Each structure stands twice: as C-alpha cells, then as structure tokens.
Amino acid sequence: MHVPQVALFATTILSGIAADWVQSEKQVSTVRVRKFFNTVAFTIAGIFLILTGWVSEIFPADQQTLGAVAFISIAQGGMGMSVAGFNVNHLDIGPRYAGVMMGITNTAGTISGILGPVVTGWLTPCGMCDDTDSVGYNYYWEGPLPCPPLATRLVPDNSHAFPNFANVSVGYHQCRATEVEAQWRNVFYLTSGLCLLGALCFLVCASGEVQAWNSPSVKGR
C-alpha cells in the first residue's frame, strides 16, 4: 500500500515550499510559520486516524478498504506538513548543533516505533487465524497463540452470526468482528491522542529564535 507514502512525499515537499513562501513573501515570523504547519499536520493526522477506526460505520462494505486507505493517506499526508513545523525547527533554534539535536530527537522518536507494535499487540489481542491447519481458520481468536490448535471435534454454534467452535483448547476465545473493531479503535484513539498532545506541546513551547546556547562562550580564550 504505497498511497500513504506518496501522500507523505508530496506534502513534505509542498509544505516546505509553502512555508518558505509565507515566511519570505508575507513576512510571517518563523515561529508562527512553524507552529501553524505543525498544528495543522498533527491535527489532520489525529482526526483522520480516529475516522479510520470507524470506516465500517462510515462506508458500505464494498468501499471500506478504499475508505481506510483514503483516511490513512490523508493522515500520513498531514504528517508530511510537520516537516515545515517541528522537523526543521532544529535549524531555527540551534543551527550550530542542528545535527546533534536531530540525532537525539530522532532517536527518541524511534522509541515509539519500537514500542508501538508491542502496545498494539496488548490492545488488540484478537487476531485473525491464518493457519489453514488450525481451528477456525479465517476467524478472529484471542488466546496464547495467534491460532488455536487443532481440536478433535468441531461443533458449530448456530446461535452466532458465524460458527463458534467448541472443544478448542482452554484459554482461547473466538472474537466477534465488533470486538476486533473496538480493539483497533483504541489503537487509533491512542495514536490520535499522542498526535494532538504533540501539537499542543509544540504550539505552547516552540520558539523560532536562535537560542543563547547556540553560540559557544569565548570566555577563557
């Protein structure tokens, strides 16, 4: 699925051009330009990540995949605008140490890429069984492993919208589609909340001026 990355690529370039034009032609201060683009970027991402969790309610069944790709692409495209916000702000406040600061902040940001899959796994214990030799292949299960082991006897329970297999090893629970959707909405809520928190922090704390520590002291020379 390359569409979100194409959107990110496009908005990254266009927002940089737009930010420079606004700053030079409209005489808008650096800090206002940075705060504007960063706030818009994270707000768009936050809104459309939440909407992604509700595609089953917004779109008909045959358009849900397209809707999810569209929402994720808009969210990712929105994040591209943050390059004209917090990303380039390293050069605004400390051009002498911009490389060092980028290394530190990018390393800190990478931690979310490490923890993200772990937290997502905790929040979404219901996973689709893709093992054709296991019980309930192509259904959602919650248990100690992604797919429950083979059972000696399978008994469909017709009271459910889809077969509910009995005699599965203890500790497994067959998830309904609504349970899976609810779990993934929590992932999108959390991600969106972090986006909006980041936007708020930058909006309140950011500066566009070169900081005093950027110039080394000449005392003692």
Say which range, 39-43, 85-89, 143-147, 179-183, has the weakest mean pLDDT: 143-147
Span 127-158, pLDDT tens digits: 988 888 887 788 899 988 888 887 544 444 44
At residue 124, the pLDDT reads 95
CB 155 within 8 A of CB 135: no
User: Residue 27: which region, alpha, beta or left (left: phi > 0; alpha: psi -120 to 50)?
Assistant: left
Judged by DSSP in three states, 120 sits in helix
Give this prediction's pTM.
0.84
Q: What's the N-to-C CA distance of the chain in angstroms? A: 57
| Segments of the chain assigned E as strands | 127-128, 140-142, 173-174
